[in-house]
Amino acid sequence: MARCNVCFRRCEIEEGKKGFCGVRSCRNGKVVPDNYGKITSLALDPIEKKPLRQFRPGSAILSVGSYGCNLRCPFCQNYEISWSEEAWQYERDADTVTPEDLAFTAGFYRKKGNIGLAFTYNEPLIGYEFVRDTARLVRKDGMVNVLVTNGTAGLSVLEELSPLIDAMNIDLKGFTDRYYRDVLKGSRKMVMDFIEEAVKGCHVELTTLIIPGENDSEEEMRQLSLWIASLRDVYGGRTGKDIPLHISRFFPRFHMTDRDATSVRHVYHLAEIARENLKYVYTGNC
């Protein structure tokens, strides 16, 4: 048996078994990521799709995903590779590449405007070892690394990756413990701690998806944006008020089809509330 230290669950994993994320397993008494180098998605995307609005705007970035996740968002837009029954088939079926292969591919697409590599689509931190090993090579080749994450990881993981990452988009999915615990099966405190440290090391933008009846109150958005504005020692000499926040519209999907899409008007209204505290607030999916 071995203990995984990636996230707040600190899964004790029996030999040959997997932790909650479905990816980290115990082999010979050590925790290892079964999805190391296993690629389910690869696309050259606009940087704005991550979403990042203030990092190399107008650029393209090669985006890569694996499988597995350490949250259980019932509305997941990438459920086929994150935590549905379909996701686990990729342990057998996903293409396997080395960090060298992926870094070479990122360099190959320079001629199409690629600036680097974005680790995205599923949750990259549950396989942070592959992110680390690949990001070192991408950085050595003079290209950038982007991380799109739910922020559900300990500071030891962030400390290992932070010197290699140029920009992050981190989900701050809501601002109540109830929502994180009961709906997402996560930890708001761990995400807040992760964000508080991440903003010191690289360019960070945050995303909040607005779910009707869950995290869509004016008061919650006011408290969320106030907390962001209070962050200190922000990368590049900025303040918390300078951190971009993306407020996105929900559409029913996966296990959450019991409610309508978020009203566009309400998304715009919540964005106005966030602008009471933040300089840069963007709306998405509207």
pTM over 0.75: yes
What pLDDT does 91 receive?
Answer: 83
What pLDDT does 107 receive?
Answer: 97
Short-list 158, 211, 159, CA closest to 180: 211
What pLDDT does 93 receive?
Answer: 85
Dist. CA 146–CA 202, nearest whole Å: 10
Dist. CA 221–CA 179, nearest whole Å: 13
Are the C-beta atoms of residues 61 and 70 closer than 8 Å to each other?
no
Dist. CA 270–CA 272, nearest whole Å: 5
What pLDDT does 221 receive?
Answer: 98
* CATH annotation of 2-284: 3.20.20.70
Dist. CA 218–CA 267, nearest whole Å: 11
In 3-state terms, what secondary structure has residue 131? helix
The set of residues, in sequence order, having a beta carbon less than 8 Å from that of 96 and lying 6+ positions away, is 37, 38, 39
Are the C-beta atoms of residues 121 and 79 closer than 8 Å to each other?
no
Q: Determine which helix (DSSP H) or strand (DSSP E) holds 194, and give its type and residue range.
A: helix 188-198
Instruction: Give mean pLDDT in consecutive 10-residue pieces for the chain, a chain of 286 residues.
Output: 96 96 96 97 97 98 97 96 86 91 98 97 98 98 98 98 98 98 98 98 98 98 98 96 98 96 98 98 96
What is the Cβ-side half-sphere exposure of residue 133, based on CA atoms within 13 angstroms?
A: 13
